[in-house]
Structure 1
Amino acid sequence: MTTSSRLPTGTVTFLFTDVEASTRMVQAAGDAWPGLLSQHDRLLRDAITGNAGTVVKTEGDGFFAVFPSARDAVAAAADAQRSFASHVWPDGRRLTIRIGLHTGLGMLGGDDYVGIDVHRAARIAAAGHGGQVVLSETTAVLVERDLPAGLALRDLGAHRLKDLAQSETIFQLDIAGLDAEFPPLRTLDAVPNNLPLQVTSFVGRREDLARALSLLEASRVLTITGTGGTGKTRLALQVGAEVGGRFRDGVFFVDLSPTRDAALVASQVLKALGGAAASGRRPPRDALLERLGEREVLLILDNFEQVMAAAPLVAELVRVSPGSRFVVTSRGPLRITAEQEMPLEPLGVPERLDPESAAGFDAVALFIERAMAVRPDFALTPENASAVAELVRGLDGLPLAIELVASRVRLLPVPEILARLDLASLGSGSVDLPERQRTIEGAIAWSHDLLSAPVQGLFARLGVFAGGADLAQIERVCSDVDVDVLTGLAELVDQGLLRQVPGGPRARFRTLHVIREVALRRLSASGSADAVQRWHLEAFVEWAEEIAPHLLGADRKDWLDRFDADHDNVRSALDWASAHGEADLALRLASASWRFWQSRGHLLEGRRRLESALGLAGGAPANRARALEALAGVCWWQGEIDACVAPYREALRIQRELGDPAEIANALYNLALAESVVGPGTAGADDARRDVYALLDEAEEISRRRGDENGLGNVAWGRGIAISYFEDYAPAALEQWRSSIEHYRRAGNDFGTGWGMFEVANFAVRHDDHETARQYLAEGLELFARHRDVSAVVLLIALAAGLAQAMGDDSRAARLAGASRALRDASGTNVVDHGMNRLPDFTLGDPEHLTGELAAAYREGTEMDFDAAVAYTLGGAGPAGDPA
């Protein structure tokens, strides 16, 4: 009887075990280890077979067993732990094991089980600790009403497992008389991370994974190289999942596939780390180097071949962050000193194949896994084994090609796929590509050629989207295709040429990087690339202009998040507009984007893009005026108030010529605001004051005539700034700011409301009205934090630091000052240091002058992320942290 003939199929429960800290135990036990392992094996086999289980296989100190009954599997796990706890181990060398259970579909591929449920069971086991039994929700539901005596279930919550699939709710089996308290599970939730959810399991590559982990232990930078489609990204993500928990400050994935500009790499890394992209007077590079200096992270930089000019940045990160490690995927090495290159070869393929030896070839295992995903009853049989072997061999063992072809199992048996797929033609892609890359292109072409002509046209057009797109955007850009777009997208998903992005409030789709490259080549060959690129630009101009008014309202976080998801599309559109001299569209898109750039910390990039758009020849005056106002706004937030005056003045001149009252009132307010700050420091301060008040009076008259509450809020806020500068924070300024809050609230402008609150709190701190300052500071911070407006939060936390010092709590003040400085450096919000916001008596903001406990408190503050800093600030503002 073969092994497979005695293994149960259908619904089964898988059990995995391994010894806790076995490597150290082997070293410590020396010659005694084989004896210990023998006792370990006997205890486990007795527990498994004594409860109707079957040992599928053993590997080192790990057991894989299967049970037809979930209750029997749970009983076996409990018996095993009791046996290990009561066993008298020689020389006191007690072994402890972790056990994981999961119930799912038992499907055989040769002598072994295949499918996602086996991987899930193994990952659940890997999350546990010695002496612990953990099980999936599926298993828990089956046994919760029929548990053996002395056992109970404890819900440990939802966790992301190391296979990077979707979250799994995990339970612990409490066993009477044994330990029930364990450290947190070893899952991705244990450390900060942004690792993307994967819709497929990690198959094969176990030797490659072990090698990558070993190389990463010995080197600072591991660069996984290879042609597109070899699985570099998937391997890098698995490395992150395996070892990310060892890095105190987390593991972070940086997708560089939408990026062509090496200058943006630092911003993309900062964003991945959970902060805003640095800007302002400090370039993103400088902020990133400072941020990583004291941290221990694992950073995964994906698709680096497009931004090779940024290789020196990686070398600098290695230098300043000795506790960090870097995994890079690229088609070629970075050629920096700390780098260890690991070329990734295709998966192993067989010369011939019989069902019994299937598990020995990664390429076959991958084909079976992906085929079962689209057809659960698929199995390797004597009838199809040779066809599968020939198929994966003809595909060169390239994972992407295998996955694309495996999707056809839904419709055709493998021999028929092989008959229809001309393996000799798979290398017929672009002749300037490497041979294996041509195989990928050929596999994509095979799927592509099965599409109708209209869906082929849709596929080519999808190449213009950087970082994916939602359904509405795709429909807007691809409206000329002669097929229902949603139907076409479904067909592309079925063919493996498009992926639906999991989660999120809208249906969103994206292509893999190598598939997008093929789509762009198809688009270029069609002769319609420029037309489609222009439609893409026009679509995102209209989209950004639709979103822009919402970036100030009550739901601004949702709109800012929506903009963030398509920032790469905006970048791509602006690049194309600049390269093709599309002045009006570039001006419109850049000016509509500036509030996003300001709120989410892309000020340096925003300024560069606005200056680029304004440097294009032509452009309607109205569009140039809005872009000038946006440029001045960016300069304001960078703390360069002097640089605001000229563009604001030019914008007002243009708006007066155009004659739109609303635009004129806004331009009057903007110029008055800048001159309020600059004017008092000039020789003609009295003239400047008269000019500022005249500008504000005119703006107020227009806004009142139009019944514009938002405009009136602007005027009141600006008048408060003018009074504070020209009249040294006279009480009249407070009246104006309170008035601005009322106008903004009636207008539904959360952004303005928050800034009115900030100014009232700022005034109150300066006048020792601590209770008013506490109230307005807390309300303003809660409002801006809800929208994740990092620029605003920087100023409010800095103000909270000043309030804490004024109330006698220097330690809290130093901690808040550190938190504000860290967020300022990450966002480029240098306006926080301008005189209008800096409290004159605050002395704890310069770390160079702090010593002892205050220096330590400041350092603690710099370690806080956005959420921690907000929570700490709202936790209290008085002495000894009294509640706010």
Structure 2
Amino acid sequence: MTTTASRSRRRLPTGTVTFLFTDVEGSTRLLEAAADRWPALLADHDRLVRDAITRHDGVVVKTEGDGFFAAFASAADAVSAAADAQRAITAHDWPAGLEPRVRMGLHTGLGLLGGDDYVGIDVHRAARISAAAHGGQVVMSAPTAALVDHDLPDGVSMRDLGRHQLRGLSRAERIFQIDVDGLDHDFPALRSLESVPNNLPVQVTHFVGRRRESARVRELLDSSRVVTITGTGGTGKTRLALQVGAEIGARFRDGVYFVDLAPVDDPDVVPSQVLRALGEDSAPGNRLPRDALLDRLADREVLLILDNFEQVIAAASVVADLVTVSPKSRFLVTSRGPLRIAAEQEMPLEPMELPDRHDPMGAAESDAVALFLDRAMAVRPDFAVTPENVAAVTDLVRGLDGLPLAIELVASRVRLLPVPEILARLDPARPGTGTIDLPERQRTIEGAIAWSHDLLDPPVQELFARLGVFAGGADLEQIERVCDDVDVDLLTGLAELVDQGLLRQVAAPGGRARFRTLHVIREVALLKLEAGGAGGAIHRRHLQAYVDWAEEVAAHVLGEDRSEWLDRFDADHDNVRTALDWAAVHGETDLALRLAAASWRFWQSRGHLYEGRSRLETVVSLQGGEPRNRARALEALGGVYWWQGEIERCVPPYREALAIQRRLGDQADLANAIYNAAIGQGVAAVTGGVTDEVRSEVFGLYDEGEAIYRRLGDENGLGNITWGRGLAFSDLDDDVPRAIQLFHESIEHYRRAGNEFGMGWGMFEVAIHSARRDDLETAWDYLEQGLALFAPHRDVSAVVLFLSLAAALAQAASDEERAARLAGAVRGLRNSSGAKIVDHEVTRIRGLSIDELDPTRPDLAPLYREGMEMSLEEAVASALGPTGDVRSAPGP
């Protein structure tokens, strides 16, 4: 791209910015057709687009070929520029057959500068939205639509095109089309990855056979709210459900979503898993996840695929409740047994159709043989069913009872052996490879897995068994911790397991190597681990590995790379859950305390406060444990209470932790405990009553903590103490000017320490205390800076507080529509994250409140509901964008 001349004449807008991307559809074809007329044609195109951008106060950031990248401080100006550009292009007198068709995309987000250019996900999102459009079409994101809904230029309207999964973006985007009077309105479907919002995993193999079964499931979903595909392990329940979801997903306005319950064995966690699959930024906090899920799906129209339900069958009532609250939705369940709820229609899935051994020539027409052929050709492209091997193939798939997983595993052997030799080496009647209380067919599939397993060298067999401890997969680093003493080169062993179909390599955050097993195969691995007598020792190694890992992650989740580390934790959250469960059952108190303490900032930042509270309360109730580990878990529990707005409840664990640290004497740990105790005591006094005794105790603790941190040279600790002391001057002395000074000082301490989390909280306090002094300009400046730190990390608990401040400032400026939308966003995100600290007096702006806003008022109710439906990104864009009137408004 080249930097345009206008770039040097005009400053790029920052804060909330609307980005516009344009390019000519089919420009290569047009260039070839235009030949030597192309330069003049392109010059006319460039002039028309540039004039429209600059006429509406936009800045051309870059051009590349026939494409423009422009930025606007106002979303309404951006829409006007796009509409005028399309009008001008349509009205221009182009040579016959050489009319350029220009597609345009708009998105509003954070205008973050890196040098003399914009950086960040919002630029990428704007480009992807534009790339989804067709020539002559203008589309925009939901944040932009929310800002221009009541400010569209004359002759322009917009329509909702629904949610679309765009290439390179992890979450579906809600897209709107801009219709300009006199121009084309009808265009093909957007160029999205999928025509319907979904999270269906990409299938790396063909779907073979099951035509009748697929048709039957579709038929049942037409007449039943819940269809449960039942059958033994390995019958292909999951694959069938995914295929049906892909086939009929377009019928459901709000999408089709796949919920993998394989890593879950606690029915209470099911609602959280469903919320996560729906694309929520976080699980609910101190609302029950079940309640949050019911609210989320009310009035929605989705197809929800719930996979591997048999191990959480007690959660069947959740499905029954969803049926009641979401009457337009359908629920497709896979399970080894039915849910036994009123709305359910069971569809037993039998093994695949088997060939007639007396009709070898017709064998290839059976589903079982077709599947074997497809998978065999994947590892040996020249493989074919021939007159020489057809009888062996027929006997092989019949011997496997037509179980798809068994067929797939055995088909991989054609890489090494001809089919008759495979058949000779496989004993499908070997029931002893499975437990006697399993159905016969499951013993057969276990025999097939065991057969692949038995071909491995003993060290690789041991590696396979140990991998069973990992829930939801694992990074190579964690596998090394648990399996480093297996007598085989680890990468060689993993590669062999992948080749055997017993292990899969999957994508991981940050591009790291990650591996996981299918659920049925993991069960076999666990059985072999226990049978070998090493189960307890390996589970403990797994626990120890994740304790060390979580403590490493905890050291990074406050810094500038927060997103990467929080995403890494999210990928292994199921392993942390499994490790904590095992530790609690087996009396590993110290490791449980350490793991829970190290996890709490993830639970807080990504909105798992409800689960974090439950797990921390469990571990601190365990018997025994080193005092230092107990103290840290108590501090974590106090932190969860604080974020849930139960400030008085956080004081006892903070005080107990301080008493422990005074006995132990480690200065860094003591100073941190002092800070926590002072914060809890000071904030609790806001509602409990400020006395001279309380004031003296709180300030005395801060003095003691500061002295320790100065001796240690700990800038982060000094930031904590300075921030806390600022709160104390505000809440206990009502000395707002002194408090603001201290918050500024805390920001500098945190900046020197590289603590972006702390910097953001210093900015939040400067913002709300500036608002208390009627300095709305400063309040908005620091609100924008704080959100620029927290929003890219998807720290929903923090963003809720900033949105609450933005709503209050909008209300003070008499911008009731914006205040209503933001108030709805605060309510929705607060409920999903559990960050009820937003309701506590300590975060309120005295004299400035949205309490008088009536969200039921006819003109405000739709905006409030719209806000409740906003994603975190949409709410941030709505909060930040155009603030001129608010900044200049009189104070409260």
Which interval holds the TM-score relative to the shorter structure? Answer: 0.7 to 0.9
Q: Measure how far apart 1:554 and its partner are.
A: 0.5
Contact 1:601 1:827 (C-alpha < 8 Å) held by counterparts: yes
On the 8 A contact 1:544/1:593 being kept in 2, the answer is yes
Conserved 8 A contact 2:283-2:833: yes
Match for 1:265: what amino acid?
A: V
Which aligned pairs between 1:373-772 and structure 2 lie closer than 5 A?
373-425=378-430, 428-502=433-507, 504=509, 505-683=511-689, 685-728=691-734, 730-772=736-778
Tell me the alpha carbon deviations over residues 488-523 of structure 1, each in whole angstroms, 9 at most, x when there is no partner. Answer: 111111111111113541111111111111111101
Aligned CA distance change for structure 1 residues 490 and 256 (closer, same or farther; 3 Å): same
Report the CA distance shift for 1:338/1:186 in structure 2 as closer, same or farther (over 3 A).
Answer: farther
Q: In the alignment, does 2:242 pair up with 1:237?
A: yes
SS of 1:619 mapped into structure 2: coil
Aligned partner of 2:336 in structure 1 is 331
What are the equivalent positions in structure 2 for 1:134-149 lying under 5 Å apart?
Answer: none
CA separation in 2, counterparts of 1:404 and 1:304?
24
Contact 2:820/2:855 (<8 A) preserved: no
Say whether 1:223 aligns with 2:228: yes
- Map 1:800-815 → 2, pairs under 5 A: 800-815=806-821
Deviation string, structure 1 residues 740-772 (Cα, Å, up to 9, x no partner): 111101100011011111111112222222221
Give the 5 Å matches for 1:23-62: none
- Tell me by how many angstroms 1:371 deviates: 0.8
Cα 1:882–1:456 change in 2 (3 A) is farther
Q: Which amino acid aligns with 1:367?
A: F
- Aligned partner of 2:263 in structure 1 is 258
Deviation, structure 1 residue 434: 0.3
Which amino acid is the alignment partner of residue 282 of structure 1? R
- Shift in CA distance, 792/160, structure 1 to aligned 2, threshold 3 Å: closer
Shift of 1:602: 1.0
TM (norm. structure 1) is 0.78
Q: Which runs of 5+ in 1 are unaligned?
A: 1-126, 130-158, 168-178
Task: Give the AA of the match of 1:237.
Answer: L
Could you tell me how far apart the structure 2 residues matched to 1:799 and 1:267 are? 28
Question: Please, which of 338, 353, 356 is the counterpart of residue 351 of structure 1?
Answer: 356
Q: CA deviation at 1:344?
A: 1.0
Shift of 1:424: 2.7
Indicate the residue corresponding to 2:835 in structure 1: 829
CA RMSD of aligned residues (A): 2.5
Instruction: Report if the CA contact (8 A) 1:221-1:340 is conserved.
Output: yes
Shift of 1:845: 5.7
Q: Which amino acid aligns with 1:738?
A: H
Amino acid at match of 1:211: R
CA shift for structure 1 position 848: 6.5
Tell me, yes or no, if the aligned pair for 1:298 and 1:324 is still in contact at 8 Å: yes
TM superposition shift of 1:846: 8.2
**1:198 match: secondary structure:** coil
Q: Post-superposition shift, 1:198?
A: 2.2
Task: Letter of the 2:214 partner, please give it.
Answer: L
Q: Give the conservation status (yes or no) of the 8 Å contact 2:800–2:830.
A: yes
Kept in 1, the 8 Å contact 2:165–2:197? The answer is no
Residue in 1 that maps onto 2:791: 785
1:189 aligns to 2:194 (yes or no): yes
Question: How many angstroms does 1:586 deviate by?
Answer: 0.6
Q: 2: distance between equivalents of 1:849 and 1:494?
A: 59
Task: Measure the CA separation in 2 of the matches of 1:311 and 1:527.
Answer: 35
* CA pair 847-393 structure 1, distance change in 2 beyond 3 A: farther
TM-score (norm 2): 0.77
Q: 8 Å contact 1:353–1:385 — kept in the other structure?
A: no
Q: Is the 8 Å Cα contact of residues 375 and 409 (structure 1) preserved in structure 2?
A: yes
1:857 aligned to which of 863, 866, 880: 863
Opposite residue 749 of structure 1, the aligned amino acid is: N
* Structure 1 residue 235, shift from structure 2 partner: 1.2
8 Å contact from structure 2 (residues 364, 385) kept in 1: no
Three-state SS of the structure 2 residue aligned to 1:424 is coil
| Aligned residue in 1 for 2:368 | 363
User: Deviation of residue 866 (structure 1)?
Assistant: 1.9
Quick check: 1:426–1:440 contact (8 Å CA) kept in 2?
Answer: no
Distance (Å, rounded) in 2 between the aligned partners of 1:200 and 1:765: 58
- Per the alignment, do residues 385 and 187 of structure 1 end up closer, same or farther by CA in structure 2, a change over 3 Å counting? farther
User: Which residue in the other structure is 1:200 paired with?
Assistant: 205
Which string of whole-angstrom CA distances, capped at 9 and with x for unpartnered residues, describes residues 249-301 of structure 1? 22221111111111111111112122244444321111111121132222111
Aligned to 1:54: none
In the TM superposition, what whole-angstrom CA distance separates every residue of 1:624-666 from its partner, at most 9, and x where no partner exists? 1101100000100111000110110111111111111111111
Which stretches in structure 2 are left out of the alignment for 5+ residues? 1-131, 135-163, 173-183
- Give the distance between the partners of 1:255 and 1:867, measured in 2 at CA: 26
CA distance in 2, matches of 1:768, 1:357: 85
Aligned partners of 1:645 and 1:671 also within 8 Å: yes
Could you tell me which residue of structure 2 aligns to residue 87 of structure 1? none
Provide the rounded CA distance (Å) in 2 between the counterparts of 1:336 and 1:213. Answer: 20
Shift in Å at residue 681 of structure 1? 3.5
Q: What letter is aligned with 1:423?
A: P
- Cα separation, 2, equivalents of 1:495 and 1:417: 14
Q: 3-state DSSP class of the match of 1:662?
A: helix
Distance 2:166 2:786 in 1: 38
Matching residue of 1:119: none
Counterpart Cα distance in 2 of 1:367 and 1:714 = 63
C-alpha contact 2:306 2:333 (8 A) present in aligned 1:
yes
Structure 1 pair 880/297, CA: closer, same or farther in 2 (3 Å)? Answer: farther
In the alignment, which residue of structure 1 is the partner of 2:156? Answer: none
CA spacing shift, 1:251–1:337, aligned 2, 3 Å: same
Indicate whether 1:868 and 2:855 are aligned. Answer: no
> Aligned pair in 2 of structure 1 residues 128, 387: CA closer, same or farther (>3 Å)?
farther
Query: What CA distance in whole angstroms lies between the structure 2 residues aligned with 1:289 and 1:695?
Result: 45
Q: Give the alignment partner of residue 213 of structure 1, picking from 208, 218, 221.
A: 218
Structure 2 residue identity aligned to 1:626: R
Determine the C-alpha separation between the residues in 2 that align with 1:664 and 1:503. 38
Q: Which amino acid aligns with 1:258?
A: P
Aligned to 1:297: 302
Matched, 1:275 2:252: no
SS of the residue corresponding to residue 759 of structure 1 reads helix
Matched positions, count? 713
Code of the residue aligned with 2:523 in structure 1: it is E
Distance in 2 (CA, whole Å) between partners of 1:517 and 1:882 is 64
For the structure 1 residues 405 and 696, does the alpha-carbon distance in structure 2 shift closer, same or farther, using more than 3 Å as the test?
same
Task: Determine if contact 1:812/1:881 at 8 Å carries over to the other structure.
Answer: no
